[in-house]
Structure formats: C-alpha cells, structure tokens
Amino acid sequence: MTSLGAMLGIVVVLALVFDYINGFHDTANAIATSVSTRALTPRRAVILASLLNLVGALYSTGVAQTIARDIVSPKFATQEVVIAALLSAIIWNLVTWYLGIPSSSSHAIIGGMAGAAVAKAGFSVLQWNGLGKILAALIISPIAGIVLGFIIMKSMFFIFGNFSPSRVNHGFKKMQVFSAGLLAFNHGSNDAQKSMGIITMALIAGGLQAQTVLAPPLWVKLACAIAMALGTAMGGWKIIHTMGGKIFKLEPINGFAADLSSSIVIWSATVFPGLHLPVSTTHVVSGSIMGVGSAKRVSAVRWGVAKQMLIAWVVTIPTTSLLAALFYTLLSKVL
C-alpha cells in the first residue's frame, strides 16, 4: 500500500510534467503566426512566450478553482483518480504532439478526470452543472474565435485596404510582437491553472487543504507557472508548422488579427466575473485563424487540414476518458 505522502508526491510530479508538456505542446498557439510571418525569429518568439506564460500563470486563480470544483466532487477526486487522469492526458498530448496535431490539453485533462472518477464511483460523481458549463465554453470559444477573427480581419481590410501591402505588412510585423506577447500571457493565465486545480484537488483529497478553500497555495502557483514556462522554452515545432501555415497562409496583418481575437476570447473566459472557465487555447487560435482566412475568402482556408484537426478535437474527451478509466482500474489494484 503506497503512503499518502508518496501518492501526493506522484500527483504533483505528474501535474508538473503535464504542465511542462502543455507548455511545449501549446507554444504554437502563441507564436505560430509571428514565426510563420517572420515577425519574430523562432528563438525570440519562444523566449517571449516563455516569459509571458510565466507571468500569465501567476495572474489569477479563478480557472484553477473551477477545475477543482466543477468537474468532479472533491471528495471523490482521490489520488488514484487524479493520477489516472494525468497519465491519460500526458499520453494523449505526447501522441498528438508527435503526430503534429493541434489537440486540446484542456479537453484531455477534463476527459481524464471525468473518466477516472466514473471508473471509481459511477456517473453520479460528476458535477453535471459545472461540467456542462465547462464543455459549453470549450465548444463556444472556438466559434467565438472564428466570428471575432472574421470581424477583426474585415475591419482591418476596410481600414487599411488603400495602403500598399508592403507598408501594411511592415507595420504589422512590429505589431505582431505585441499580439504574440498578449496571447502568450493569456495562454499562461488560463492553461497553467488547470494543473493548479488538479493539484489542489489532490491536496483536498489528502486532507491537507480544506474543501472550502479552493484557491491553490502559492507554491502550487509558482511550480505550475515555472513548469509551463520551461515547457514553452522547449518549443513545439511540429505544431507550429501546422498552426502557422497549413490552415491558412498568413501575412503579418492576418497574424495580428488572429492573435488579437484569440486573446480577447481567452481573456474573457479567464477573468470575466462569474465565468473563470478553462478554454482550449488550441481551439480558439485555430478558430481565429480560420475566421481571419475566411475574411479574405473562404477558399483561402485549407478546410481539409481543419477537418483533420476537428476530428482530433472530437475524439480527445472520449479517448482520454476511456484511457483514464483503464489507468484507474489498474492503479486501484496496484497502489
């Protein structure tokens, strides 16, 4: 029988590994457009994203509290459940990264938590109201990215339509440094909190934190922020290639519009009063790029690639749920 302290240690290590992988898996979200348009060199883009991911991760804890409260009842989120969820999410992220498919770390960890908890005690342990709100946000946010990207790009066409393309691109290359930094900050402020929430659940399950206190301790915030920043520093060049060029051939003005619309959607979900919802940065950025491309012309978007990404998105939650359920079954016999 593994001791409580050892189990908690495993949870913390796996959560930080998940955050690290999330950093390089989702780095492309913040810097793909600026790298593909040559607004930033890959090295400078990764450094910028790493620093602002770190700052963003320390910004707020609302999303972490949502993760700790609204997926599974905290009393059922045992160490075995959390470990199984993290293992399934880590494996899924590594597989999709290896294949160069932009999939959602958010979907992966939410599917993992739900699957492991159901394997432990049945569907009644799920917080259906909270889970429904989270799933709605995950579905609506990329649609919002498409719509907002389309509107912002159309507005820019209207404003800058009479300027020479070279002048516009030169100006927006500089603006992309700002927009990439803004997106990296928002990515950190939303994505790093998922691991914070997972560790908080484990602390509550282990009796080391009261169920009424859902905010993660300072050491959890710092550890998750640093892990994501280190992962971001590793880059994620396969996914950067997909995000930066396979969906739609980007120019600096397009990259700026996609980054700005993505940042607005993610920031709104993260800090808007009463929301504090985890969203998929991957989905939002992909949606924004599609919206920006459609504003130029619908045929400019490579919808075949978009279809492949959509399939990966759809299968993420069921796959990680089943994988987590299998891991929980095995762990419950071993630990």
Question: Where does the pLDDT of residue 322 fall: very low under 50, low under 70, confident under 90, or very high at 90 and above?
Answer: very high
What is the percentage of the chain residues whose pLDDT exceeds 70? Answer: 90
Question: Where does the pLDDT of residue 1 fall: very low under 50, low under 70, confident under 90, or very high at 90 and above?
Answer: low
Under 8 Å between Cβ of 116 and 324: yes
- pTM given for the model: 0.85
DSSP 215: S
Cα distance between residue 21 and residue 27, in whole Å: 10
Residue 120's pLDDT is 92
* Tens digits of residue pLDDT in 18-64: 988 887 776 666 777 777 777 777 778 778 888 888 888 888 778 88
Q: What is the average per-residue pLDDT within 116-130?
A: 90
Instruction: State how many domains the chain has.
Output: 1
pLDDT at 150 over 90: yes
pLDDT at 83 over 70: yes
* Tens digits of residue pLDDT in 265-284: 999 999 887 778 888 888 88
Look at 110 and 244; give whichever has higher pLDDT.
110
pLDDT at 192 over 60: yes
Radius of gyration of the chain (CA): 19
Cα distance between residue 113 and residue 309, in whole Å: 23
Cα distance between residue 171 and residue 155, in whole Å: 16
Residue 17's pLDDT is 93
The residue segments making up the domain with residue 150 are 4-334
Beta-ladder partners of 72? 126
> Which of helix, strand or coil describes residue 130?
helix
Q: What is the average per-residue pLDDT within 251-263?
A: 90
- Among 72, 85, 61, 109, smallest CA distance to 213 is for 61
Residue 106's pLDDT is 82
Distance of CA 266 to the CA centre of its chain: 10
pLDDT at 102 over 70: no
Q: Within 13 A of 304's CA, how many CA atoms are on the CB side?
A: 1
Question: Where does the pLDDT of residue 97 fall: very low under 50, low under 70, confident under 90, or very high at 90 and above?
Answer: confident
Residue 266's pLDDT is 93
